[in-house]
Amino acid sequence: MSAISAEPIPRDTEHRSRTDARHDFIFRLILRFCALLVLAALLGAALATLWGGRDVLFKDGLHFLLSSEWNPVENQFGALAPIAGTLITSLIALMLAVPVSFGIALFLTEIAPNWMRGPVSAAIELLAAIPSIIYGMWGLFVFVPFMSSIEPTLNDTLGNIPVIGALFQGPPLGLGLLTAGIVLAVMILPFISSVMREVFQTVPARLKESSYALGSTTWEVVWDIVLPYTRSAVIGGIFLGLGRALGETMAVTFVLGNSYNLTASLLMPGTSISSSIANEFNEATELHRSALIALGFLLFVVTFIVLLIARYMLRQLARKEGR
């Protein structure tokens, strides 16, 4: 029996295979370059702010982190007040925005009629597109007078409650940590609610319909079906809003009061990292400028830590879901 000889590969096919392999190699190089470019930009920003703030960070070290004194005339700088203001206002914003965002997303996906979902969704997206300086002007000219009118009531009622009363004691200035936190909550609300709405819509309809068929209420469907199915994405959306709140500058600068005094009251003025940089960087020189750049590095570190916590929580949730 004669051996069956293999047919030769046509030259056109061989040439096309080589061309496709070359194009695929170039495409992978471009993608790798894009990924490395992001890492390089991130590392470059961190190193630039660290090098710019080296005079304060390497000179004062831990004292710069733990001191609340800020006196450019005597070259005495402490980052405790800006760090505390950034974290407190962001925490207030998160505590207010998350429940409201959850309610909005739940209403749009489970309760609202079809004719209402489009206009409400468009309004939420419009809120996300408004520049932060507009929120700051609204907060200064509209919300601050409103807060100054109700702060005496807060002082007389909540201010007399043991333990938490100190948080609501102070003069009715309108400007302060509480006001800035509420304005931040309004700003991050459309981001969180949009993410929640989108992920709630990914839940298969048959799962919800099966639960309704068994007699579950809307709340039971949301708690037992929707949230377990989407909780990883929901937590990611919440931390996305938190990152937005941590780095906000203009809106906070308008309503925070820009005071470096640390007090227990949320009604008193304070400052944040971003607002301190925005207010003073233009006139800062030498050590003062180094301190402001060091604040920028600290903001970078705080945001990075928040993102690490978010990744850790998402990984833990993924492990539990895998079990």
Q: Is the Cβ–Cβ distance between 310 and 235 less than 8 Å?
A: yes
Which residue reads 């009604």 in tokens?
267
178 is written with which tokens? 């509480």
- Please give the pLDDT value at position 316: 77
Residues 6+ apart with CB under 8 A from 198: none
Q: Which domains does the chain have, with CATH numbers?
A: 57-320 (1.10.3720.10)
Q: Give residue 284's Cα distance to chain centre.
A: 28
- State yes or no: pLDDT of 39 exceeds 80: yes
Separation between Cα atoms, residue 235 and residue 226, nearest integer Å: 13
The candidate with the shortest Cα–Cα distance to 82, out of 65, 57, 61, is: 65
Q: Is the Cβ–Cβ distance between 267 and 169 less than 8 Å?
A: yes
Residue-wise pLDDT for 80-109, tens only, equals 889 999 999 999 999 999 999 998 888 888
Mean of pLDDT values over 308-318: 78
Mean of pLDDT values over 155-180: 85
- Please give the pLDDT value at position 323: 52
CB 271: neighbour CB atoms within 10 A? Answer: 28
Separation between Cα atoms, residue 232 and residue 287, nearest integer Å: 44
Separation between Cα atoms, residue 156 and residue 221, nearest integer Å: 41
Average pLDDT, the chain: 84
Q: Is the Cβ–Cβ distance between 48 and 58 less than 8 Å?
A: no
Residue-wise pLDDT for 55-88, tens only, equals 888 887 788 888 888 888 888 888 888 999 999 9
Q: Is the Cβ–Cβ distance between 191 and 103 less than 8 Å?
A: no
Mean of pLDDT values over 114-118: 84
- Please give the pLDDT value at position 7: 55
Mean of pLDDT values over 106-134: 85
- State yes or no: pLDDT of 322 exceeds 70: no
